[in-house]
Amino acid sequence: MFSYRHAFHAGNHADVLKHIVLVQILEHLRQKDKPFWYFDTHAGAGRYDLSGAWARKTLEADTGIARLWQAPKPPAAVARYLDAVRACNPDGQLRSYPGSPWLAWQLLGERDRLRLFEWHATEVHHLHEAMRQQPREVARRTMVYAADGFVGLKALLPPPPRRGVILIDPAYEDKNDYRRVMQTVREGLERFATGCYAVWYPLIQRREAQLLPEKLSRLPGVEWLHASLLVGDPKLSGLGLHGSGMFVINPPYTLRASLQEALPWVAQTLAGANGRYTLQSSDAPRREARRPIAAPSSARPPAKPARPRPPRIRSSEG
C-alpha cells in the first residue's frame, strides 16, 4: 500500500496551481444551463486541517495558500479560488484547506454529479467525514468509491449528460502512475472524446515527469492547454518539488486568458524573483513554444542575473 498522505502538502504551491485551474474549469462548465459530472480519480481526504501535526511538520501551506490569503488585488481567477478557500474558513482565519472534492461540492449545481475515487482507507474515511459536513443534497449528488481511480473511471464514461470534467491527480509515488495517467487519458478519450481532462503532474528531476506533458501534447487530434508554475530551481540533490504543471485537454475557451492574467501574479506572490510560469496551448505556433522560459517583467526584477533554467520546461509566455 502507498504511504502518500496529502495532509503533509495541502495548500502548497502545487495545490494553488491545480485548484486555481480546477475552479476556473468548474466555473466555466456551470455557466451553461446544462448539467455536468465531475470525476476525481484521486480525491484525497476532501478537507485538510492546516493546524494539524502533519501540515505543521512541513509548513508547505505557509509558502502556498498563506502567501495569497491576504495579498491585495488578486486577479479574477485567483480571487475566485480564494473565495472558495474562504468558504472553507468561514471565520476568516486560514485554518482549513479545501481539497478538490470540497471545491467541486461548492461549485456544482443541483443537477450536477460528483464521482470520487480514493484508494487509501483512511483517506476514504476522512472523505466521508468531509462529505457529511456538506448539506444533505450535496452528499446525495456524490458517490465515493474506495477503489483504484485509474481502473474505475473507465466504467463511468461517458457521463449521461455528455458534459464533464475529469481531474487526474495521482501522488506519483509509484512511477507507474505516469504510464497509468497516459493510459487513463487515452481510454477516457475513446469513450468520452469531448470531456475536459485535467492532469496534474510534478516538476521533479525524474524523466517520466518531464516526458508526461510531451506525451500528452502528442495525443492525436486533441486541443490542450498546459500551465506550469515554478517556485525555485531544481535542487542538486534531485529531491523536492520546485514546481508543477496542469495539462488540460479540451480546456474551456476562457481558461487561457484567465490563466494568462493570473499566473504572473501567482508566480510573483508565491516566490518573488524565483517565481516563473509557462503557458502553452495546442494552437500556439511551434516557434513560440520553443522560446526559453522567462517570467514576465512583473514576476522578476530585471536587475537580477538570470538563474539556470530547468532544461525541459518551455514557455510560450512571458
Ligand X SMILES: C[S@@+](CC[C@H](N)C(=O)[O-])C[C@H]1O[C@@H](n2cnc3c(N)ncnc32)[C@H](O)[C@@H]1O
Minimum CB distance to ligand X smaller for 20 or for 263: 20
CA distances from 240 to 8, 69, 231, 233, 234 (A): 13, 24, 11, 10, 8
Minimum CB distance to ligand X smaller for 18 or for 276: 18
Half-sphere exposure of 279 (CA within 13 A, CB side): 18
Query: Is residue 79 classed as helix, strand or coil in its secondary structure?
Result: helix
What's the alpha-carbon Rg for the chain, to the nearest Å? 18
Minimum CB distance to ligand X smaller for 27 or for 123: 123
- Least CB distance to ligand X at residue 285 (A): 33
Judged by CB under 6 A, which stretch of 111-119, 135-143, 158-166, 245-253 contacts ligand X?
A: 111-119
Task: Identify whether 83 is a catalytic site residue.
Answer: no
Closest CA to 228 of 247, 208, 210: 247
Interface with ligand X: number of residues (CB under 6 A): 21
Work out whether 123 is an interface residue with ligand X (CB under 6 A).
Answer: yes
Q: Looking at 12, 24, 96, 100, which residue binds ligand X (CB under 6 A)?
A: 100
Q: Looking at 104, 169, 224, 315, which residue binds ligand X (CB under 6 A)?
A: 169
Place of cell 492532469: 199
Of 130-149, binders to ligand X (CB under 6 A) are 148-149
Of 258-287, binders to ligand X (CB under 6 A) are none
Of 3-62, binders to ligand X (CB under 6 A) are 4, 6, 18, 40, 42-44
Work out whether 182 is an interface residue with ligand X (CB under 6 A).
Answer: no
Work out whether 117 is an interface residue with ligand X (CB under 6 A).
Answer: yes
- Least CB distance to ligand X at residue 19 (A): 7
CA distance 36 to 20: 19
Catalytic residue among 15, 40, 169, 177: 169
- Which residues have a Cβ under 8 Å from the Cβ of 93 and sit 6 or more positions away? none
Q: How is residue 239 written as a grid cell?
A: 529531491
Q: Looking at 74, 75, 99, 318, which residue binds ligand X (CB under 6 A)?
A: 99
Closest CA to 242 of 227, 229, 226: 229
Work out whether 292 is an interface residue with ligand X (CB under 6 A).
Answer: no
Strand ranges in 79-236 using DSSP code E only, listed in sequence order: 96-98, 113-117, 142-145, 164-168, 196-203, 224-230
CA distance 264 to 272: 10
> What positions carry a catalytic annotation?
169
Using CB under 6 A as the criterion, which residues of the chain lie in contact with ligand X when the complex forms? 2, 4, 6, 18, 40, 42-44, 99-100, 117-120, 123, 148-150, 169-171
